[in-house]
């Protein structure tokens, strides 16, 4: 199996962390998001341990909440010693409602509203990643008005274009995120920030993209960020204590995808940064990373019930599932590949060539095209693997489809963490 927390049990069913997927679907209904908490913890530990080993004290991973935000995730990442990146008032509120310490939050977002800024300051989030001058001015005023000095990172764009799909690249020069180094604007941004009352600049933030497999991209990012930091030191006399390098480590979705060794990648980034700092005579900064996908993607499985197959003679066969782009829009948006198996017949040969189609009235509602699964009967459970990141988080109510429930598995038991949305929940919004 592509992820080693998955197996086939004696009933010939898919087991997730040892628990029968068909029994989960029978108990909690479908579609169903399943999250293997023990796998999330293992991924957290890989980051925490490698960062402690290779980077200066105070370096840490912050979980990128955007990948999977619900209350139940926060006690897990907190107890594993991580912070969290949050990008909206909603994510801040969710983390705080779960009891997550505000000082371990880093508040991102390219267009935070005045209300969100005031709320973040009032709730004493540890740090803001300030995206631009507009926000800087509001934040400085708000922090002063509330009588605090807000720690901030300045978000800059290093102008890199790593190999990944266009919609998730954020580091290139022409970007709506952060302030570009190349045009000289980032230096001016730093100058203004250093003179702004109410804030204390602790360092710089940069994020170059997502689903990146080449360690070289992160080393290039480090080079550019360090060169910028040196310019700021030389021009403005300011030395950064923190480099936040964002997220982006890639995960395999199908067997053909490369596998990234997270610890080795962190070691490579650390030694590259250390050498760069020595060469530039720059004090080694603390490093923050913001992994999202690589913490939760391989811990998630989505279970569907199939309504059966449909063959268009001479063309293709479809496996119809009771969810689709509403719970997983990533194929419709990015043509993202997934590994899909018939969980009810996991021991049978995967020899039925098909396209997996969702239930929405839209021809783009597909989860995968031209794959093979063991031929399903109506009622079989279809498992889509690797759906822990950006699936629940990006789900919608298109076609008035309620969002699925989410169960967490830990130590061989399952517990409901998010109940299934109902049509009544949706109607309750309407006056």
Which residues does the annotation mark as catalytic?
361
Task: Assess 157 for contact with ligand LLP (CB under 6 A).
Answer: no
Interface with ligand LLP, residue 392, by CB under 6 A: no
Among 59, 294, 326, 355, binds ligand LLP (CB under 6 A): 294
Find, among 35, 76, 78, the residue nearest to 60 by Cα.
Answer: 78
Q: What angle do CA 174, 180, 182 make, to 5 degrees?
A: 95
Buried b (16+ CB within 10 A) or exposed e, 218-256: bbbbbebbbebbbebbeeeeeebebbbbbbbbbbbbeee
Question: Which range binds ligand LLP by CB under 6 A, 191-199, 261-269, 291-299, 376-384?
Answer: 291-299
Q: Which helix (H) or strand (E) holds 336?
A: none
β-bridge mates for residue 418, sequence order: 406
Should residue 67 be labelled a site residue for ligand LLP when binding is judged by CB under 6 A? yes
Contact with ligand LLP (CB under 6 A): which of 14, 64, 225, 407?
Answer: 64
Angle, CA of 169, 175 and 181, to the nearest 5°: 105
Q: Does 112 bind ligand LLP (CB under 6 A)?
A: no
Regarding 120 and contact with ligand LLP (CB under 6 A), the answer is no
Secondary structure of 98-131 in the HEC alphabet?
CCCCHHHEEECCCCCCHHHHHHHHHCCCCEEEEC
Instruction: Spell out, one character per residue from 1 to 40, where the chain touches ligand LLP: x when CB under 6 A holds, - when not.
Output: ----------------------------------------
Q: Is 293 in the site for ligand LLP (CB under 6 A)?
A: yes
End-to-end CA separation in angstroms for the chain: 49
Q: Is 210 in the site for ligand LLP (CB under 6 A)?
A: yes
Nearest residue (CB) to ligand LLP, 189 versus 390: 390
Buried b (16+ CB within 10 A) or exposed e, 92-126: bebbbebebeeebbbbbbeebeeebbbbbbeeebb
CB of 292 to ligand LLP, least distance (A): 3
Q: What does the alpha-carbon distance between residue 307 and residue 285 come to, in Å, rounded to a whole number? A: 55
Shortest Å distance, C-beta 336 to ligand LLP: 7
Residue 292 binds to ligand LLP (criterion: CB under 6 A): yes
Q: How many residues bind ligand LLP (CB under 6 A)?
A: 22
Q: Is 116 in the site for ligand LLP (CB under 6 A)?
A: no
DSSP result, 295-326 = HHGGGEEEEEEEEEEEEETTTEEEEEES-STT
Residue whose structure tokens are 């031929």: 375
Q: At what angle do helices 114-122 and 133-145 cross, to 10 degrees?
A: 40
Residue from 63, 253, 390, 392 in contact with ligand LLP (CB under 6 A)? 390
Of the pair 22, 153, the CB lying nearest ligand LLP is at 153
What are the distances in angstroms from CA 409 to CA 21, 87, 231? 11, 27, 49
Q: Is 207 in the site for ligand LLP (CB under 6 A)?
A: yes
Q: Name the one range near ligand LLP by CB under 6 A: 37-45, 89-97, 204-212, 310-318.
A: 204-212
For strands 32-36 and 300-312, give the pairing. Answer: antiparallel
Under rule CB under 6 A, residue 170 binds ligand LLP: yes
Give the bridge partners for 408, in sequence order.
Answer: 35, 415
Q: Using the rule CB under 6 A, is 291 a contact of ligand LLP?
A: yes
Nearest distance from C-beta of residue 390 to ligand LLP, angstroms: 3
85 binds ligand LLP (CB under 6 A): yes
Which one, 87 or 357, has the nearer CB to ligand LLP? 87
Tokens of 374: 């063991």
Enumerate residues 326-345 that contact ligand LLP by CB under 6 A: 330
- Which parts of 218-277 interact with ligand LLP (CB under 6 A)? 246-249
CA dist 189 and 182 (Å) reads 13
Question: Which stretches of the chain bind ligand LLP, using CB under 6 A?
Answer: 64, 66-67, 85, 108, 168, 170, 207, 210-211, 246-249, 290-294, 330, 389-390
């Amino acid at each position: 199996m592509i992820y080693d927390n998955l197996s086939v049990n004696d009933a010939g069913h898919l087991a997730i962390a040892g628990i029968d997927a068909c029994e989960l679907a029978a108990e909690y209904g479908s579609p169903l998001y399943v999250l293997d908490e023990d796998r999330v913890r293992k991924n957290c530990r890989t980051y925490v341990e490698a960062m402690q080993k290779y980077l200066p004290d105070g370096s840490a991973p912050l979980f990128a909440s955007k990948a999977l935000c619900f209350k139940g995730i926060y006690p897990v990442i907190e107890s594993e010693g991580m912070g969290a990146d949050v990008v909206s008032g909603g994510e801040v509120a969710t983390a705080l409602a779960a009891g997550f310490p505000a000082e371990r939050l880093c508040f991102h977002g390219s267009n935070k509203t005045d209300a969100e800024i005031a709320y973040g300051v009032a709730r004493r989030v540890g740090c803001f990643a300030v995206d631009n001058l507009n926000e800087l001015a509001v934040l400085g005023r708000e922090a002063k008005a509330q009588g605090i000095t807000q720690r901030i990172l300045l978000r800059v764009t290093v102008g890199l274009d790593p190999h990944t799909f266009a919609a998730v690249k954020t580091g290139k020069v022409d970007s709506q995120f952060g302030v570009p180094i190349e045009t000289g604007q980032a230096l001016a941004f730093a100058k203004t920030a250093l003179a702004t009352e109410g804030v204390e600049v602790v360092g710089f933030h940069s994020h170059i993209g997502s689903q990146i497999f080449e360690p070289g991209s992160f080393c290039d990012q480090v080079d550019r960020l360090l060169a910028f930091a040196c310019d700021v030191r030389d021009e403005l006399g300011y030395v950064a204590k923190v480099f936040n390098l964002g997220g982006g480590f890639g995960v395999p979705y199908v067997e053909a995808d490369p596998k990234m060794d997270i610890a080795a990648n962190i070691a490579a980034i650390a030694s590259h940064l250390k050498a760069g700092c020595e060469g530039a005579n720059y004090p080694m900064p603390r490093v923050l990373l913001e992994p999202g996908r690589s913490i939760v993607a391989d811990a998630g499985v989505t279970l569907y019930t199939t309504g059966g197959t449909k063959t268009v003679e001479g063309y293709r066969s479809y496996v119809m599932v009771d969810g689709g782009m509403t719970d997983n829009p990533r194929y419709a948006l990015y043509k993202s590949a997934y590994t899909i198996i018939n969980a009810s017949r996991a021991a049978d040969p995967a020899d039925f060539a098909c396209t997996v189609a969702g239930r929405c009235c839209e021809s783009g509602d597909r989860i995968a095209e031209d794959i093979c699964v063991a031929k399903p009967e109506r009622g079989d459970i279809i498992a889509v693997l690797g759906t822990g990141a950006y699936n629940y988080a990006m789900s919608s109510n298109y076609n008035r489809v309620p969002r699925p429930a989410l169960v967490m598995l830990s130590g061989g038991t399952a517990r409901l963490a998010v109940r299934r949305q109902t049509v009544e929940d949706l109607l309750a919004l309407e006056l």
